[in-house]
Structure 1
Amino acid sequence: MIGQHMDEAKSKPRDDCLPLSKIRTIMKSSPDIELVSQESLPIVCRATEMFIQHFITQAYVHSKDKKCIGYGDIAVAVENEENLHFLSDILPRKRLAGECIDMSKKKSSSPTKSDPEPQR
């Protein structure tokens, strides 16, 4: 009886699973991947679902309004959670124009190692 139930669970598609065809397309878009095996798709799909769940949970934790998660909450989670920092280029925190100008002025006024030394 248990074996039969497990076989049904394996053959029955999950409602909450991301579309395997889309996962395959995304995987194939990487220049490092030449072949996507049929066996790897459900595993990558489940890992992706788990990542999304973790990501949204972290956004909720950082959310001020617990009824709705917005872009700002997601960006704060990316900024504050070390394991999400790799997304900082894709999901930067929104800044006011004045903040960006101040940051730009600070960068231009302090020489960096890559800047050449001023000639005398």
Structure 2
Amino acid sequence: MVKYWQDTINAIEHDDHRFKIHQLPLARIKKVMKADEDVRMISAEAPILFAKGCDIFITELTMRAWIHAEENKRRTLQRSDIANALQRSDMFDFLIDIVPREEAHGPSSRHRHASASATATDVYNTSATDQHHQPMSHDDIGAPPHPPPPPHDEPHHHQPPPPPPPPPHTGNDFPNVYQYGDLNDYNGFRQY
């Protein structure tokens, strides 16, 4: 890492910069910058600096994740490698909402996920014997089973339950990418 940073600093200080060629799309960077309501105008140089900063950030994070992949004798970079790289440095704590710490633990988190899935399956199987078959949603996992429907000969005199309250506001204005279906789909753009 020290050599990478030395080479990066030397390249920034001494190389002839080509400002017309970018690794990342400047229009996308401008769109992200303008997502802040306080931003009114953006100079031409600002997205270029952000693009270079993002390039350096992605390269460093990839190198740190690659170290973890090699420690596990793999040649394929996985999500757990990135989570582990983030966990090893306090510098990346700002990403804790995007990549939770549990993912960095590898097999133990998979074991917890498998046991949670088994519990959810058990809840579904035991409650489904007295009910009509209803698919479980993510909100049903860990929740008590639904009460059985009333017998058909009794009249229905009760009102449907009120809708669940909205989730509490966490102060984080960025969407949680894990709450949507595809973990690789963020803000309408496919991430590879």
Q: Normalising by the residue count of structure 2, what TM-score does the alignment of the two structures yield?
A: 0.42
1:79 is the counterpart of 2:87: yes
The residue type paired with residue 98 of structure 2 is I
What is the aligned counterpart of 2:65 among 50, 59, 63?
Answer: 59
Quote the Cα distance in structure 2 between the aligned partners of 1:85 and 1:47.
18
SS in 1 for 2:60: helix
Unpaired segments ≥5 residues, structure 1: 1-5, 100-120
Structure 1 CA distance, aligned partners of 2:89 and 2:49? 25
Query: What CA RMSD, in Å, does the superposition of the two structures yield over aligned residues?
Result: 2.2
* 2-structure distance, mates of 1:60, 1:32: 37
Query: Which is richer in helix?
Result: 1
Q: Deviations over 1:62-113 (max 9, x none)?
A: 22244111011111111121111111110113322469xxxxxxxxxxxxxx
Q: CA deviation at 1:10?
A: 3.6
> 1:66 & 1:33 partners in 2: Cα distance?
43
Distance 2:63 2:38 in 1: 30
Partner of 1:24: 30
CA–CA separation in structure 2 for the residues paired with 1:31 and 1:65: 46
Q: Please report how far the alpha carbon of residue 41 of structure 1 lies from its aligned counterpart in structure 2 after TM superposition.
A: 1.4
Structure 1 SS opposite 2:59: helix
Query: Relative contact order (C-alpha < 8 Å, sep 6+): which is higher?
Result: 1
Q: How far apart, CA to CA, are the structure 2 residues paired with 1:32 and 1:51?
A: 25
- In 2: Cα distance, 1:90 partner to 1:36 partner: 27
Report the number of matched residues.
Answer: 90
Q: TM-score, normalised by structure 1?
A: 0.64
Taking the aligned partners of 2:85 and 2:36, their CA distance within structure 1 comes to 26
Is 1:41 paired with 2:55? no
SS in 2 for 1:51: helix
Structure having the higher Rg: 2
